[in-house]
Protein backbone atom coordinates (compact mmCIF):
# COMPACT_ATOMS: atom_id res chain seq x y z
CA UNK A 1 0.00 0.00 0.00
CA UNK A 2 2.81 2.40 0.86
CA UNK A 3 4.46 1.62 -2.47
CA UNK A 4 1.20 2.39 -4.28
CA UNK A 5 0.81 5.66 -2.38
CA UNK A 6 4.39 6.58 -3.18
CA UNK A 7 3.81 5.96 -6.88
CA UNK A 8 0.59 8.00 -6.72
CA UNK A 9 2.39 10.87 -5.02
CA UNK A 10 5.10 10.95 -7.63
CA UNK A 11 2.56 10.79 -10.44
CA UNK A 12 0.53 13.71 -9.07
CA UNK A 13 3.55 15.89 -8.36
CA UNK A 14 5.01 15.21 -11.80
CA UNK A 15 1.68 15.87 -13.49
CA UNK A 16 1.32 19.15 -11.63
CA UNK A 17 4.83 20.24 -12.49
CA UNK A 18 4.12 19.17 -16.06
CA UNK A 19 1.38 21.80 -16.14
CA UNK A 20 3.91 24.41 -15.03
CA UNK A 21 6.38 23.29 -17.69
CA UNK A 22 3.58 23.54 -20.24
CA UNK A 23 3.18 27.13 -19.09
CA UNK A 24 6.83 27.78 -19.97
CA UNK A 25 6.32 26.28 -23.41
CA UNK A 26 3.16 28.10 -24.50
CA UNK A 27 2.82 31.08 -22.14
CA UNK A 28 3.59 33.47 -24.97
CA UNK A 29 0.26 32.66 -26.59
CA UNK A 30 -1.59 34.27 -23.67
CA UNK A 31 -5.13 35.24 -24.60
CA UNK A 32 -4.69 35.03 -28.35
CA UNK A 33 -7.39 33.44 -30.43
CA UNK A 34 -6.09 31.17 -33.16
CA UNK A 35 -6.09 32.70 -36.63
CA UNK A 36 -8.66 30.14 -37.73
CA UNK A 37 -10.98 31.05 -34.86
CA UNK A 38 -10.46 34.77 -35.46
CA UNK A 39 -11.34 34.40 -39.15
CA UNK A 40 -14.37 32.32 -38.23
CA UNK A 41 -15.61 34.92 -35.73
CA UNK A 42 -15.35 37.63 -38.37
CA UNK A 43 -17.26 35.54 -40.89
CA UNK A 44 -20.32 34.98 -38.67
CA UNK A 45 -23.35 37.12 -39.39
CA UNK A 46 -26.18 37.27 -36.86
CA UNK A 47 -26.54 35.61 -33.49
CA UNK A 48 -24.77 32.28 -32.99
CA UNK A 49 -25.02 31.60 -29.24
CA UNK A 50 -23.93 27.95 -29.32
CA UNK A 51 -20.84 28.69 -31.41
CA UNK A 52 -19.67 31.58 -29.23
CA UNK A 53 -20.35 29.70 -26.01
CA UNK A 54 -18.14 26.89 -27.30
CA UNK A 55 -15.38 29.30 -28.40
CA UNK A 56 -15.41 31.00 -25.00
CA UNK A 57 -15.18 27.70 -23.13
CA UNK A 58 -12.43 26.45 -25.44
CA UNK A 59 -10.41 29.62 -24.91
CA UNK A 60 -10.64 29.46 -21.15
CA UNK A 61 -9.91 25.76 -20.85
CA UNK A 62 -6.85 26.05 -23.10
CA UNK A 63 -5.66 29.40 -21.70
CA UNK A 64 -2.62 28.32 -19.71
CA UNK A 65 -2.18 31.76 -18.14
CA UNK A 66 -5.71 31.53 -16.69
CA UNK A 67 -5.12 28.02 -15.42
CA UNK A 68 -1.76 28.87 -13.83
CA UNK A 69 -3.29 31.85 -12.02
CA UNK A 70 -6.27 29.81 -10.79
CA UNK A 71 -3.92 27.05 -9.69
CA UNK A 72 -1.98 29.56 -7.62
CA UNK A 73 -5.18 30.98 -6.14
CA UNK A 74 -6.53 27.56 -5.18
CA UNK A 75 -3.25 25.93 -4.16
CA UNK A 76 -3.74 26.11 -0.37
CA UNK A 77 -7.51 26.64 -0.17
CA UNK A 78 -9.27 23.82 1.67
CA UNK A 79 -12.78 25.05 2.46
CA UNK A 80 -15.45 24.97 -0.24
CA UNK A 81 -16.60 28.42 0.88
CA UNK A 82 -13.17 29.94 0.23
CA UNK A 83 -12.93 28.27 -3.17
CA UNK A 84 -16.35 29.69 -4.11
CA UNK A 85 -15.45 33.19 -2.90
CA UNK A 86 -12.15 33.42 -4.76
CA UNK A 87 -13.55 31.84 -7.93
CA UNK A 88 -16.46 34.30 -7.85
CA UNK A 89 -14.19 37.31 -7.38
CA UNK A 90 -12.10 36.27 -10.36
CA UNK A 91 -15.20 35.56 -12.45
CA UNK A 92 -16.81 38.92 -11.68
CA UNK A 93 -13.62 40.83 -12.45
CA UNK A 94 -13.02 38.86 -15.64
CA UNK A 95 -16.59 39.38 -16.88
CA UNK A 96 -16.65 43.13 -16.19
CA UNK A 97 -13.65 43.99 -18.34
CA UNK A 98 -14.34 41.42 -21.05
CA UNK A 99 -17.80 42.86 -21.69
CA UNK A 100 -16.99 46.53 -21.07
CA UNK A 101 -13.70 46.40 -22.94
CA UNK A 102 -15.36 45.14 -26.13
CA UNK A 103 -18.58 47.15 -25.86
CA UNK A 104 -16.82 50.44 -25.04
CA UNK A 105 -13.90 49.63 -27.36
CA UNK A 106 -11.34 50.56 -24.71
CA UNK A 107 -7.98 51.45 -26.23
CA UNK A 108 -5.26 49.68 -24.28
CA UNK A 109 -1.96 48.11 -25.24
CA UNK A 110 -2.44 44.34 -25.42
CA UNK A 111 1.22 43.58 -24.63
CA UNK A 112 1.14 45.62 -21.42
CA UNK A 113 -2.08 43.96 -20.30
CA UNK A 114 -0.68 40.50 -21.03
CA UNK A 115 2.49 41.39 -19.12
CA UNK A 116 0.36 42.31 -16.09
CA UNK A 117 -1.41 38.96 -16.46
CA UNK A 118 2.02 37.33 -16.28
CA UNK A 119 2.75 39.25 -13.11
CA UNK A 120 -0.55 37.99 -11.66
CA UNK A 121 0.90 34.47 -11.86
CA UNK A 122 4.11 35.74 -10.25
CA UNK A 123 2.10 37.34 -7.46
CA UNK A 124 0.16 34.19 -6.58
CA UNK A 125 3.24 31.98 -6.63
CA UNK A 126 5.17 34.48 -4.50
CA UNK A 127 2.26 34.79 -2.07
CA UNK A 128 2.06 31.00 -1.75
CA UNK A 129 5.77 30.96 -0.93
CA UNK A 130 5.11 33.35 1.96
CA UNK A 131 6.76 36.32 0.31
CA UNK A 132 3.82 38.71 0.56
CA UNK A 133 3.71 38.30 4.35
CA UNK A 134 7.11 39.96 4.51
CA UNK A 135 5.41 43.23 3.54
CA UNK A 136 3.58 43.27 6.87
CA UNK A 137 0.81 45.84 6.99
CA UNK A 138 1.65 46.88 3.43
CA UNK A 139 0.66 43.46 2.12
CA UNK A 140 -2.31 43.68 -0.31
CA UNK A 141 -5.64 42.11 0.58
CA UNK A 142 -5.69 38.71 -1.12
CA UNK A 143 -9.33 38.87 -2.15
CA UNK A 144 -8.99 42.35 -3.62
CA UNK A 145 -5.86 41.27 -5.47
CA UNK A 146 -7.66 38.31 -7.08
CA UNK A 147 -10.52 40.58 -8.16
CA UNK A 148 -8.17 43.20 -9.62
CA UNK A 149 -6.13 40.62 -11.49
CA UNK A 150 -9.42 39.17 -12.74
CA UNK A 151 -10.10 42.57 -14.31
CA UNK A 152 -6.82 42.37 -16.20
CA UNK A 153 -7.44 38.79 -17.33
CA UNK A 154 -10.77 39.86 -18.82
CA UNK A 155 -9.23 42.96 -20.38
CA UNK A 156 -6.55 40.81 -21.97
CA UNK A 157 -9.16 38.81 -23.83
CA UNK A 158 -11.14 41.95 -24.69
CA UNK A 159 -8.10 43.36 -26.53
CA UNK A 160 -8.12 40.25 -28.76
CA UNK A 161 -11.85 40.44 -29.49
CA UNK A 162 -11.90 44.13 -30.38
CA UNK A 163 -12.22 44.50 -34.11
CA UNK A 164 -13.48 40.94 -34.47
CA UNK A 165 -16.93 41.43 -33.00
CA UNK A 166 -19.62 44.06 -33.40
CA UNK A 167 -22.65 44.65 -31.19
CA UNK A 168 -24.79 44.97 -34.31
CA UNK A 169 -26.72 42.15 -35.97
CA UNK A 170 -26.69 39.78 -32.99
CA UNK A 171 -23.17 40.68 -31.92
CA UNK A 172 -24.18 41.58 -28.37
CA UNK A 173 -25.77 38.17 -27.86
CA UNK A 174 -22.63 36.54 -29.26
CA UNK A 175 -20.42 38.52 -26.88
CA UNK A 176 -22.54 37.60 -23.85
CA UNK A 177 -22.53 33.93 -24.90
CA UNK A 178 -18.76 34.05 -25.38
CA UNK A 179 -18.43 35.34 -21.83
CA UNK A 180 -20.76 32.60 -20.56
CA UNK A 181 -18.57 30.08 -22.35
CA UNK A 182 -15.46 31.54 -20.75
CA UNK A 183 -16.97 31.12 -17.31
CA UNK A 184 -18.12 27.57 -18.08
CA UNK A 185 -14.61 26.76 -19.25
CA UNK A 186 -13.23 28.30 -16.09
CA UNK A 187 -15.54 26.15 -13.99
CA UNK A 188 -14.39 23.02 -15.81
CA UNK A 189 -10.74 23.98 -15.38
CA UNK A 190 -11.33 24.78 -11.72
CA UNK A 191 -12.90 21.36 -11.08
CA UNK A 192 -9.90 19.65 -12.67
CA UNK A 193 -7.38 21.76 -10.74
CA UNK A 194 -9.15 21.22 -7.42
CA UNK A 195 -9.46 17.47 -8.04
CA UNK A 196 -5.69 17.21 -8.54
CA UNK A 197 -4.88 19.45 -5.57
CA UNK A 198 -7.26 17.65 -3.18
CA UNK A 199 -5.85 14.26 -4.16
CA UNK A 200 -2.28 15.54 -3.95
CA UNK A 201 -2.71 17.09 -0.49
CA UNK A 202 -3.08 13.64 1.06
CA UNK A 203 0.30 12.60 -0.31
CA UNK A 204 3.65 13.19 1.39
CA UNK A 205 4.99 14.81 -1.77
CA UNK A 206 2.64 17.79 -1.39
CA UNK A 207 4.64 19.36 1.42
CA UNK A 208 7.93 18.54 -0.27
CA UNK A 209 6.95 19.78 -3.70
CA UNK A 210 4.78 22.81 -2.89
CA UNK A 211 7.84 25.07 -2.74
CA UNK A 212 9.08 23.78 -6.10
CA UNK A 213 5.63 24.07 -7.71
CA UNK A 214 5.09 27.66 -6.59
CA UNK A 215 8.63 28.63 -7.52
CA UNK A 216 7.84 27.28 -10.99
CA UNK A 217 4.68 29.40 -11.03
CA UNK A 218 6.77 32.49 -10.27
CA UNK A 219 9.28 31.65 -12.99
CA UNK A 220 6.53 30.93 -15.53
CA UNK A 221 4.83 34.24 -14.74
CA UNK A 222 8.09 36.14 -15.18
CA UNK A 223 8.62 34.46 -18.55
CA UNK A 224 5.13 35.41 -19.68
CA UNK A 225 5.53 39.01 -18.48
CA UNK A 226 9.02 39.31 -19.95
CA UNK A 227 7.91 38.05 -23.35
CA UNK A 228 5.11 40.60 -23.61
CA UNK A 229 7.26 43.47 -22.32
CA UNK A 230 9.77 42.56 -25.03
CA UNK A 231 6.95 42.62 -27.60
CA UNK A 232 5.93 46.04 -26.32
CA UNK A 233 9.47 47.43 -26.56
CA UNK A 234 9.92 46.09 -30.09
CA UNK A 235 6.63 47.64 -31.23
CA UNK A 236 7.30 51.04 -29.65
Q: Of residues 114 and 21, which shows the higher confidence score? A: 114
Note whether 77 and 190 are within 8 A (CB). no
Q: What is the pTM of this model?
A: 0.81
What confidence tens digit (pLDDT) does each residue in 69-95 have?
A: 999 999 999 899 999 999 999 999 999
Share of the chain above pLDDT 90, in %: 33
The set of residues, in sequence order, having a beta carbon less than 8 Å from that of 15 and lying 6+ positions away, is 196
Of 29, 50, 157, 177, the C-alpha closest to 93 is 157
Residue 34: predicted pLDDT: 59
- The domain spans of the chain are 2-27+43-235
Query: Quick one: pLDDT band at residue 63, thresholds 50, 70, 90?
Result: confident
Model confidence pLDDT, tens digit, residues 187-233:
998 999 999 899 888 888 888 889 989 999 999 999 989 989 998 89
pLDDT, one tens digit per residue, over 34-59 is 566 666 666 677 677 888 888 888 87
Percent of the chain surpassing pLDDT 70: 78
Amino acid sequence: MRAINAIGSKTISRAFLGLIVLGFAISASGHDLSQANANYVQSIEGAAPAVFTYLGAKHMFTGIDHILFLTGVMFFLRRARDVAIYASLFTIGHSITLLCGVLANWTVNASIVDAIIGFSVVYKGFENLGGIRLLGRWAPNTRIAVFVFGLFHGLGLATKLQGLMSTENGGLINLICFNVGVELGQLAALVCVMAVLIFWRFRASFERMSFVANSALVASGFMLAGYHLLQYSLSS
